[in-house]
Amino acid sequence: MALYIVPVPIGNLKDITLRAIDVLNSVDFIIAEDTRYSLKLLNNLGIKKKLYSYYKPKEEEKAKSIIKYLANKNGALITDSGTPLISDPGYILIKKAIDEGIGIISLPGPTAFVPALTNSGLPADTFFFAGFSPKKGGKLRSHLEQYSGFKHTLIFYESPRRVQKFLETAYAVFGNRRFSISKELSKKNEKIIRGKLKDHKELVEEIMALGEFVIVIEGETGDEIGAKPELNSVEDIFDYFKSEYSISKNDIKKVLMTRK
């Protein structure tokens, strides 16, 4: 039997392909990241199938039971939006299915970083997709530093709560490169911002913080001017040392107290 990887819309429900609809209608069951969320799409398409949930951190456990169903049935793997496995669950299940000799059929379809790249105004012939970055400041900086010499266009996913911190760190690491941000792609409130990393605060402040962001950053050109931190207050100093050296405010205060 076979397991189909089926991309679903990232926003506009009309973006689903005719082939994807045919597959979802024909399989015996559907594997969804969040069955409650996927039911909205399936109900809109008039598709009624047995649903199995498959999500982090229970991928290993869920994959074992799903493989048993695939022994004599066809299944389709979908995610909440876009293409399964692209910053979403699916890898463990696909690997186990291949190991068991189950056929894998992957359909082309929506994924957020492709339209974000093509509308960015940055080179799209070679690029590096890095997905989501670490949440903590020190780890974020070291994570970005490994890409600083890449000449490819860089693509990242980020949440609205962390986007300003990401861009601040990106400016410090990459210098004043060109970048773009795409939010709510294919939806009513779709917004594209393009500019230089130095101006990220002013550019991003006008965006309503909803949905995930796709950040596209120019690759290394050799012309970047490094960012110099603005240390105009005690808070700026604390934030700089926290980001640069992963030192907490309490640790900095202890050092200052011992030098009085």
Residues 102 and 119 in one domain: no
Question: What letter represents residue 117's amino acid?
Answer: L
In a domain, 21, yes or no: yes
Residues 151 and 224 in one domain: yes
In a domain, 236, yes or no: yes
CATH value at residue 179: 3.30.950.10
CB atoms under 10 Å from CB of 185, counted, come to 26
Boundaries of domain holding 39: 2-106
Question: What secondary structure letter does DSSP report for 162?
Answer: T
Residue 223, pLDDT above cutoff 80: no
List, for residues 15-51, the tens digit of each pLDDT value. Answer: 999 999 999 999 999 999 999 999 999 999 999 999 9
Last-in-domain residue among 64, 86, 106 = 106
In a domain, 53, yes or no: yes
Close Cβ partners of 158 (under 8 Å, ≥ 6 residues apart)? 132, 133, 166, 212, 213, 215
148, 130 Cβ separation under 8 angstroms: no
Residues 128 and 56 in one domain: no
Last-in-domain residue among 106, 134, 161 = 106
List, for residues 135-177, the tens digit of each pLDDT value. Answer: 876 799 999 999 999 999 999 999 988 999 999 999 999 999 9
Residue 252, pLDDT above cutoff 70: no
Residues 118 and 237 in one domain: yes
200, 175 Cβ separation under 8 angstroms: no
CB atoms under 10 Å from CB of 95, counted, come to 12
The reported pTM is 0.82
In a domain, 195, yes or no: yes
CATH value at residue 57: 3.40.1010.10
229 — pLDDT class (breaks 50, 70, 90): low
Counting the structural domains of the chain, the total is 2
Evaluated on CA atoms 135, 140, 146, 148, the torsion sign reads positive
**Most distant CA atoms of the chain, gap in Å:** 75
Residues 239 and 137 in one domain: yes
Residues 129 and 91 in one domain: no
Of 99, 101, 105, nearest in space to 75 by CA: 105
Residues 124 and 158 in one domain: yes
In a domain, 149, yes or no: yes
In a domain, 27, yes or no: yes
Residues 93 and 132 in one domain: no
Residues 129 and 233 in one domain: yes
In a domain, 252, yes or no: no
Residues 120 and 235 in one domain: yes
Residues 101 and 135 in one domain: no
Last-in-domain residue among 72, 106, 140 = 106
pLDDT of residue 24: 98
In a domain, 250, yes or no: no
98, 3 Cβ separation under 8 angstroms: no
Residues 22 and 138 in one domain: no
| Low-confidence winner among 45-59, 82-96, 218-232, 245-259 (lowest mean pLDDT) | 245-259
